[in-house]
Amino acid sequence: MSQVTVTEHLLIHQKKSPAASGVFTQLLYDLILSAKLISRSVSKAGLLDVLGETGEINVQGEQVQKLDEYANSVLIHRMERSGALCLMASEENADIIPVPERFTRGDYVLIFDPLDGSSNIDVNINVGTIFSIHKRITSAAAPAIEDVLQPGYRQVAAGYVLYGPSTMLVYTTGMGVHGFTLDPSVGEFLLSHPDMRIPESGKYYSVNEGNAAMWDQPTREAINYFKGSENRRGQPYSSRYVGSLVGDFHRTLLYGGIFAYPKVYQKPGEGKGKLRLLCEAAPLAFVVEQAGGKATDGERRILELVPQRLHERVPLFIGSPRDVDDAMRFMK
Ligand code: AHM
Ligand code: MG
């Protein structure tokens, strides 16, 4: 593995891009520090659970929190002190989170899912943190919801941290996608996957097929296409589904193929997506496009969707460009 740390990589990129500033680099630096703190706790999840059962106070005399609450509070606590942000939004918080006036406020807006797939924690399966960074667009003293409700193509950075067998950080600032692996012995993320490119097509499809009876006909046909032998490969794609978006996405990025969370119809005419546009779909869409892939909601490019609400949910088809195009032939 290279010896380039994520901080060095950021500084090199900062020189290449006049748009990037020292403030922005500080923001990413604080985000990385938060990820290391969360990673440390995730790796002890089983042990923390044991402590949690003894009365919810750990040996330090601290309240034992559920890990997703812990991850959320680590991110809010660290990032409001970064000096780069004016506003945050988290999957865990119903409303936007303005940076308190007692801290230095910057021009950036951070949206995150602190611990995606957290239902997998108890069974020791991968979880992740997803982040999306925008530049503020309003000019009044206080930041506003409009600063968060921006279409994905305006993101200045996005990425995720995967807490797997190794902890990995994958991010883009619009100049390709770069992956780093945390070396726990030195506490640094080291460049392990420079300039990541998603394969043109893959051999895996990834979807919760338990929902198949609640999909619409075009979705069923699209998924059947991958399962049949009349597809691009001339043989069935293999199925892979973790149920942790970061894990499923990361595999798709490396091996190619398609991940889908289509609309689910609980009642006729009322199809709904599950994944959140702002903190899940848009950041991963930015990453996948920067790696040469595609992301759509079945009709439109994810990055062009204009969010109407903070916790808006969308259907998602994301992955290798040919596989997403093949699925979209059924959707149109
Ligand atoms: P969460 O943010 O509440 O963890 O939900 C998002 C997760 C994703 O990680 C994953 O892709 C999806 O929900 C799995 O949903 P399902 O269990 O319906 O397949
Ligand atoms: Mg989530």
Position 12 scores a pLDDT of 82
Question: Is this model's pTM higher than 0.85 or not?
Answer: yes
98 pLDDT tier (thresholds 50, 70, 90): very high
Q: Mean pLDDT, to the nearest integer, of 152-168?
A: 96
What band does 62 get if pLDDT is binned at 50, 70 and 90? low
Dist. CA 262–CA 268, nearest whole Å: 15
Q: Which atom of ligand 1 is nearest to the CA of 261?
A: 11
Can you give the pLDDT at residue 170? Answer: 98
Q: Which domains does the chain have, with CATH numbers?
A: 6-193 (3.30.540.10), 204-331 (3.40.190.80)
Give CA separation, 138 vs 89, 96, 108, 144, in Å: 16, 14, 11, 7
Ligand 1, atom 3, lies closest to the CA of: 117
Which atom of ligand 1 sits closest to the CA of residue 210? 19
Q: Average pLDDT, stretch 19-37?
A: 87
Percentage of residues of the chain with pLDDT beyond 70:
93
The neighbourhood of ligand 2, an ion, using CB within 5 A, equals: 113, 116
Return the bridge partners of 139, or none: none
Q: Please tell me if the CB atom of residue 116 comes closer than 6 angstroms to any atom of ligand 1.
A: yes
Number of the ligand 1 atom closest to the C-alpha atom of 119? 4
For the chain, give the mean pLDDT. Answer: 92
Give the pLDDT confidence of 277-291 residue by residue, as tens digits: 999 999 999 999 999
Residue range 135-162: mean pLDDT, rounded: 96
Q: Which of 69, 275, 278, 280 to mutate to test the pocket of ligand 1 (most atoms within 8 A of CB)?
A: 275
Q: Is the pLDDT of residue 64 over 80?
A: no
Q: What is the pLDDT of residues 184-235, one digit of tens each?
A: 999 999 999 999 999 999 999 999 999 999 999 999 999 999 999 999 999 9
Q: Which ligand is nearest to the CA of 248?
A: 1
Given pLDDT bands bounded at 50, 70 and 90, which one contains residue 65? Answer: low
**Torsions phi, psi for 269 (to 5 deg):** 80, 0
Task: Answer whether 120 contacts ligand 1 (Cβ < 6 A).
Answer: no
Q: Is 126 in the pocket of ligand 1 (CB under 6 A)?
A: no
Q: Give the position of tokens 């997703």.
A: 68
Q: Is the dihedral of CA 194, 34, 105, 98 positive or negative?
A: positive
**Mean per-residue pLDDT, 248-265:** 98
Select from 131, 208, 311 the residue to mutate for testing ligand 1; criterion: most ligand atoms less than 8 Å from CB: 208
Non-local (6+) Cβ contacts of 320 within 8 A are 198, 199, 200, 201, 202, 252, 256, 257, 258, 293, 294
Nearest residue CA, atom 4 of ligand 1? 117
Closest CA to ligand 1's atom 2: 116
Longest Cα–Cα distance of the chain, Å, equals 62
